[in-house]
């Protein structure tokens, strides 16, 4: 069983978890020769999770239920939630232990700051939401990707676990699709793209402003 865990907490961003959950579930339904895939929302307790947007979700597993993951995905959240979880030893310990032998260690948006606090991005290139790049720069062992990429894949030789970090919120769509392509091949990724009709063509195209100080 290939275990995919999307770690959630109070104040998490909805699309940060919904985008990968949707794409990875479609992957799990596709007939892969390798092994079955299970995707779950994992939290510290069974208490319902209220997202930053006010939607209530029920975790499908708790930390104690899933001691090891093949793919760890950490979502971003509101600033207060990030500050709380960065100081939560149970949360950080779970990120470290569950991903010890993981094939992929991934984050989207400010979830990179939680991976960074756990030391899981040390020695890797990474990105995050443009507004929080200054926060990520506070971790000197992390190489910050230039510009504002939708995602960054870093597979360092001699390092265990491929790091995949995404930019802000909607970047998780591209990032999850890239993980599927990397894991299951281009044809499977195109199948997920087709069934979800993910062919983005936004009606507006704003520009990202210069990065300021860390808002945390």
pLDDT digits (tens, 9 = 90+) for 151-170: 999 998 778 899 999 999 99
Distances (CA, A) of 216 to 18, 79, 141, 181, 195: 24, 6, 19, 34, 38
pLDDT of residue 33 exceeding 70, the answer is no
Percent of the chain scoring above 70 in pLDDT? 98
Q: Which residue has the tokens 């149970």?
A: 90
Helix 89-98 to helix 79-86 angle, to the nearest 10 degrees? 80
Lowest mean pLDDT among 26-40, 107-121, 163-177: 26-40
- For residue 71, list its beta bridge partners: 4, 104
Q: 5: pLDDT confidence band, cut at 50, 70 and 90?
A: very high
* Closest alpha carbon to 27 in 198, 177, 200: 177
Task: List the structure tokens of 37.
Answer: 């895939």
Ramachandran angles phi, psi of 6, nearest 5°: -105, 110
> What residues contact residue 59 under an 8 Å CB cut-off, 6+ apart?
8, 41, 42, 43, 45, 46, 47, 48, 49
Output the pLDDT for position 142.
Answer: 97
Q: Which domains does the chain have, with CATH numbers?
A: 2-195 (3.40.50.880)
Q: If residue 7 lies in a helix (H) or strand (E), which one and from where to where? A: strand 2-7
H-type helices in 102-170, by residue range? 111-117, 133-136
Are 175 and 164 spatial neighbours (Cβ–Cβ below 8 Å)?
yes
Average pLDDT, integer, range 200-205: 94
Instruction: Indicate which residue of 81, 102, 109, 189 is catalytic.
Output: 109
Q: Which residue has the tokens 């970047």?
A: 171
What is the distance between the alpha carbons of residues 135 and 64, in angstroms, rounded to a whole number?
A: 30
What is the distance between the alpha carbons of residues 68 and 111, in angstroms, rounded to a whole number?
A: 19
Q: Is 109 a catalytic residue?
A: yes
Per-residue pLDDT tens digits for 45-98: 999 999 999 999 999 999 999 999 999 999 999 999 999 999 999 999 999 999
Percent of the chain scoring above 90 in pLDDT? 90
Q: What is the dihedral of CA 130, 131, 133, 136, to 10 degrees?
A: -130
Mean pLDDT of the chain: 95
Task: List the structure tokens of 145.
Answer: 């990707």
Q: 216: pLDDT confidence band, cut at 50, 70 and 90?
A: confident
Q: What is the DSSP letter of 209?
A: P
CA 75, distance to chain mean position in Å, is: 5
pLDDT of residue 184 exceeding 80, the answer is yes
What is the SS3 assignment for 200? coil
């Amino acid at each position: 069983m290939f275990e995919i865990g999307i770690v959630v907490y109070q104040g998490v961003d909805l699309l940060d978890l919904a985008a990968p959950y949707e794409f990875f579930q479609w992957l799990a339904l596709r007939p892969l020769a390798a092994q079955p895939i299970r995707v779950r929302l994992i939290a510290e307790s069974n208490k319902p999770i209220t997202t930053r947007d006010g939607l209530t979700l029920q975790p499908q597993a708790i930390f104690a239920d899933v001691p090891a993951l093949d793919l760890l995905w950490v979502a971003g959240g509101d600033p207060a939630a990030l500050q709380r979880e960065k100081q939560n030893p149970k949360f950080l310990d779970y990120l470290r232990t569950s991903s010890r032998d993981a094939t992929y260690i991934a984050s989207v948006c400010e979830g990179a700051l939680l991976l960074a606090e756990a030391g899981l991005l040390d020695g890797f290139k990474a990105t995050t939401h443009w507004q929080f790049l200054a926060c990520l720069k506070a971790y000197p062992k992390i190489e910050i990707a230039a510009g504002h990429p939708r995602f960054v894949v870093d597979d360092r030789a001699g390092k265990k676990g491929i790091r995949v970090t995404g930019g802000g919120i909607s970047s998780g769509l591209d990032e999850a699709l890239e993980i599927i392509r990397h894991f299951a091949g281009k044809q499977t990724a195109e199948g997920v793209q087709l069934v979800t009709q993910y062919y983005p063509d936004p009606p507006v195209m704003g520009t990202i402003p210069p990065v300021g100080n860390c808002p945390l």
